[in-house]
Chain A
Amino acid sequence: MTSSRIIQHPILNFERGKKKVLYFEDKPVEVYENESVLAALYANGVRIFSRSRVLKRPRGAFCLIGKCSSCLMEADRVPNTRICITLTKDLREVRYQESSASPPKTSFFIAKKPEEIPTDILVIGGGPAGLYAAMYASKYGANVVLVDENPTIGGQLVKQTHKFFGSKDLYSGIRGFEIAKKLAKILHKRKNIKILTNTSVFGLYSGKLAGAYHLRRKQLLKIKAKQITVATGASERFLVFENNDLPGVMGAGAAQTLMNVYGVKPGEKALMVGAGNVGLIVSYQLIQAGVKVVAIVEAMPRIGGYLVHAAKVRRLGVPIYTSHTIKSAHGKEKVEGATIIALDKEFREIPGTEKYLEVDLICLAVGLNPYSQLLSQAGCEMVYIPELGGLVPKRTRYQETTISGIYVAGDVSGIEEASTAMLEGGIAGISAALKIIGNNEKALNEREEMLEKLEKIRAGRFFERIRKGLRKVLIDERRGNSTY
């Protein structure tokens, strides 16, 4: 098997760490210790990570960030391990598991006593929103515990190789992964922030108690907080078409994680579905990684993303077919081709317009869903807002949900972008801190400044839908919230 690791990249250097051997189905595989198990196997040609329960259809990598369950494997005898967020350095062997996994042979959760962690503020999620929430809550003296289930903090910033738009004070003109490094550096220095990576929060209980487990230490945690900010981000949407479950169909963000975080080429020839900013930006990044982008299809009659992003790929010869969609994927155990088809004004397929494309990768960039299950579970009042991407919590302008002391920030409160996520995080962070430290004029002023900046960014025409959606979820901050 030849490796599909990227050796040279125009922007990135990959720090893969030491070489080691990982046993996959009892066979030795050469991997690097900083690679996720999934990336390492992918680099060695593995495309199937599980099978469907009944028909035993192959399941490939879809989300790469611990959200979709396509890659659950038995790792060092622990079933249901999400191998996309587990690094090889922590493991000796992985194997396929039966679709209905048997319970762990070692019941480590029960054997060890839960560890109790008291804190002023718990921030769940270490992306741009969570990092800002932690940064601004700690700035005003509150103690913060920041948890993230990935091996590093930074959220999806870590795979953004393009320079960010926006204004200077929000890191514009700097590449996303560099922003993540800068923010992580600030946070690691703060003595009143405790960062827990590899940690999943699985439930929020009365008295602001969060149940969590540390994936590497296999340790159950009870985090007892006074205030909680939920900044869990979003997950990539799926799309209905024939053979959409073939390995090789993956989220555009997943392809980004593979190539930009781990330096593994997701394919050789790609079809991108969706010409919003994600589809356009990832198409360009695929080209940077040495993947040929055969076409971009977009169901709408016009591109949804910024013209500058589209222009970048067009001038390199990538066709963008508007009013087109994917009809089917082809291949036996993995993608070997795709058929695209034109759509009429009512989005009906026009027979006879099918085109076959030889591709081994189909990236879906058809939007994101807020990853809001924790908020639902906690009992926050949720509303379905199409303009914001799905189920989101009602909240005040200070990002407080209908449960007093539970705040929300970033994509989980409505799909937007990194700069707005940072500002929402900052606002939530200050608001939560104010409840701990009492009135503080400097904090109040800073929060007002952030609200103004947020409004300025959202004033543009690309935020029209967002503005419409936000009007439906905003509640008056003077109205009493329920307690929890």
Chain B
Amino acid sequence: MNDAGIVRIEDLRRLKLIPPHSRMKAGPVVVVECIEEIPCDVCVAACPTRAIVKKDINSIPSVDFDKCTGCGSCLLACPGLAIFLVDLSIGSGKGRVTMPYELLPIPSKDDKVVLLNRKGEPAGEGRIVKVVRSADKTYAVTVEMEDSKVRDVRAFRVIV
């Protein structure tokens, strides 16, 4: 097994796509995990505050974290399901990650879920705190977890 197909944190950091800790402490903020030059600018068009910018359609997005309001419009629009929101503002050792979700079953508030990291490995348990559905059936699901996990958790499995 290898790390083919896994977005590396070093790359996100190098491309300045990880928000500063202080910004995460202030409330939900976007992490755009799109680090290749692919012809797409859906996130740029979706952002109401112009926080996400691409030089041209093939360049890698850059994010102005101070302009980002954490609204999640880009998360619901991204065709690559590659955009997440992280939030460390709630304190008491908890953090939240909002993830795009296009699978079944649809979770409900307070459901327990198995957290999964970028490799699909279980990373403990989380709790659903918010489920938002877009008009085109993409869900934005916010999961609460230990704050140390928000960096790595990027998917979840509903416990049925």
The stretch among B13-21, B62-70, B74-82, B143-151 that forms the contact with chain A is: B74-82
A317 at the B interface (CB under 8 A): yes
CB distance from A164 to the nearest CB of B (A): 6
> A173 near B38 (CB under 8 angstroms)?
no
**CB of B124 within 8 Å of the partner chain:** no
How many chain B residues sit at the interface, stated as a range, is 35 or more
Asked, given contacts A165-B80, A308-B82, A321-B1, whether A316 binds B155 with beta carbons under 8 Å apart, the answer is yes
Q: Report the nearest B residue to A319, measured CB to CB.
A: B1
B154 at the A interface (CB under 8 A):
yes
Number of A-B residue pairs with CB-CB distance less than 8 Å in the complex they form: 137
- Asked if B39 and A165 sit within 8 Å, CB to CB, the answer is yes
Please determine whether A456 and B116 come into contact, CB atoms closer than 8 angstroms: no
Give the residues in chain A near B38, CB-CB below 8 Å: 165, 306, 308, 460, 462
Choose among B6, B7, B103, B138 the residue that contacts A287 (Cβ–Cβ < 8 A): B103
Contact B4 A8 (CB under 8 A): no
- Knowing A316-B120, A317-B120, A457-B57 touch, does A167 contact B41 (C-beta < 8 A)? yes
Cβ–Cβ contact B80 & A10, under 8 A: no
Report if B159 contacts A (CB, 8 A).
no
Whether B35 is near chain A, meaning CB under 8 Å from some CB there, is yes
Closest CB in chain B relative to A347 CB, distance in Å: 17
Judged by a CB distance under 8 angstroms, whether B87 is at the interface is no
Given the interface pairs A315-B155, A317-B116, A461-B37, the reply to whether A163 lies near B2 with Cβ below 8 Å is no
B81 touches A312 (CB 8 A): yes
B94 within 8 A of A: no
Does B110 belong to the interface (CB within 8 Å)? no
Of all chain B residues, the one with the shortest Cβ separation from A315 is B155
> Cβ of A57 < 8 Å from any Cβ of B?
no
A460 in contact with B42 (CB, 8 Å)? no
Q: Are A302 and B4 in contact (CB under 8 A)?
A: yes
Contacting B35 at CB < 8 Å: which of A168, A175, A307, A457?
A307
For B1-13 the 0/1 string (1 means CB < 8 A from A) is 1101111000000
Check: A437 CB closer than 8 A to any chain B CB: no
For residue A461, which residues in chain B have a CB less than 8 angstroms away from its CB? 37, 58
The answer to whether B35 touches A10 (Cβ under 8 A) is: no
Query: Closest Cβ of chain A: how far from B47's Cβ, in Å?
Result: 12
A215 contacts the other chain (Cβ, under 8 Å)?
no
Q: Which residues of chain B come closer than 8 Å to A175, judged between CB atoms?
A: 136
Instruction: Give chain A residues whose Cβ lies under 8 Å from the Cβ of B157.
Output: 316
Question: With a CB–CB cut-off of 8 A, which chain B residues contact A308?
Answer: 33-34, 36, 38, 80-82
**Nearest-CB distance from B42 to chain A (Å)?**
4
Q: Which of A164-191 contact B (CB under 8 A)?
A: 164-168, 172-175, 178
From B46, B118, B120, B121, give the contact of A173 (CB < 8 A): B46
State the CA gap A165–B138 with chains docked (Å). 16
When distances are taken between beta carbons in the complex, the residues of chain A under 8 Å from B136 are 163, 174-175, 178
Q: Tell me, in angstroms, the Cα distance from A368 to B53 when the chains sit together.
A: 34
Distance from A51 Cβ to chain B, minimum over Cβ atoms (Å): 38
Cα–Cα, bound, A302→B117 (Å) = 21
B18 → A minimal CB distance (Å): 16
Contact residues in A for B41 (Cβ distance below 8 Å)? 167-168, 172
B104 interface residue (CB < 8 Å to A): yes
Q: 1/0 per position for B103-119, CB-CB distance to A under 8 A?
A: 11010000000001111
Whether A315 and B39, one on each chain, are in contact in the complex, defined by CB atoms closer than 8 angstroms, is no
Binary interface encoding of chain A residues 282-325 relative to chain B, with 1 for a CB under 8 A from any of its CBs, else 0: 00000110100000001000110011111111111111111000
Using A460-B38, A462-B38 as known contacts, say yes or no to A275 and B82 having CB atoms under 8 A apart.
no
The 7 lowest CB-CB distance pairs between A and B, nearest first, are A310-B5, A317-B120, A308-B80, A460-B58, A165-B40, A163-B79, A315-B155
Query: What 17 additional pairs, Cβ within 8 angstroms, besides A165-B42, A167-B39?
Result: A9-B104, A10-B137, A166-B42, A167-B41, A178-B136, A306-B80, A308-B82, A310-B6, A311-B6, A311-B118, A311-B154, A312-B81, A314-B118, A315-B117, A316-B155, A457-B57, A462-B39
Instruction: List 8 A–B pairs whose Cβ atoms lie within 8 Å, in order of A's numbering.
Output: A163-B42, A178-B136, A313-B5, A315-B117, A316-B116, A317-B116, A317-B119, A456-B56
Question: Which positions in A face B, CB cutoff 8 Å?
Answer: 8-11, 162-168, 172-175, 178, 275, 280, 287-288, 290, 298, 302-303, 306-322, 419, 456-457, 459-462
